[in-house]
Homo-oligomer: A and B are copies of this chain.
Amino acid sequence: MADVKLFGFWSSPFSRRVEMALKLKGVEYEYIEEDINNKSPLLLKYNPIHKKVPVLLHNGKPIAESLIIIEYIDEVWEGPSILPQDPYERAMARFWVKLLDEIKGEEREKNKDEAKVHLKFLESEINGKKFFGGDTIGLVDLAANFIAHWFRVISESVGLELMTEDKFPNLRKWVDEYTNSSFVKENLPDKDKMVGFYMTRYQAPGGTKCFPKV
């Protein structure tokens, strides 16, 4: 059996989405929980540039950055496709993923107006579809994981403005579909534990309303 290890952190949507990709493919792996306040020498060794989870270790070789890890998993292991097979559809999936990444940055830098304009395009993209991947969960759904977090947890704990406004009914519908699908449900962190975690972070000195980078 291939030697697969994942360094993660329980509340991070970035390590959770990698776990979901591994599970979608049926890959067996060892999970190593990191203490993000006291990162392990191994994590720093395997991700010296960003010093962040998630890191996937496959046969001793490390890969960082959740979405790059997911593309790797999709290419290396058999099982349901996470990216679309058609090159044009694949390009479109990567385009939405990049936009989601930009929205995350805009939210962090408090460019709320820009984030809203971009969310509107996603709102229209998901219209009439169950998942971004169509009938099944795909790359864009995993990338949009953090939006489900916003809706479910952060908006509740810190009253995040962006998603509490009632401007994104399709995205809300997607969050419901996504977080209630049995596969995702099994893989989401406990909601009460999450709310407590973000409350503490938010209220701490130097705490931030922004979505944390871990």
Contact = CB atoms under 8 A, between A and B. Distances in A.
Interface of A: 48-49, 58, 61, 63-65, 68-69, 71-72, 75-76, 87-88, 90-92, 94-95, 98-99, 118, 121
Given A76-B87, A87-B75, A91-B72, A65 B121 contact: no
B68 A88 contact: no
A88 B76 CA distance: 9
A126 B142 CA distance: 33
A68 B121 contact: no
- Decide if the interface of chain A is mainly helix, strand, loop or mixed: helix
Nearest to A76: B87
A92 B90 CA distance: 19
A97 to B, nearest CB: 9
A151 to B, nearest CB: 22
A121 B88 CA distance: 33
B87 A72 contact: yes
A69 B49 contact: no
Contacts of A118: 49
Given A49-B118, A98-B68, A121-B49, A75 B61 contact: no
A164 B58 CA distance: 39
A167 B141 CA distance: 42
- Looking at A49, A58, A61, the one whose CB has the most chain B CB atoms below 10 A away is A49
Given A99-B49, A121-B49, A88 B65 contact: no
B91 A68 contact: yes
Contact of A68 (B64, B72, B76, B95): B95
Nearest to A58: B88
Given A72-B90, A72-B91, 10 more contacts: A61-B88, A63-B91, A63-B95, A64-B95, A68-B94, A68-B95, A68-B98, A71-B90, A71-B94, A76-B87
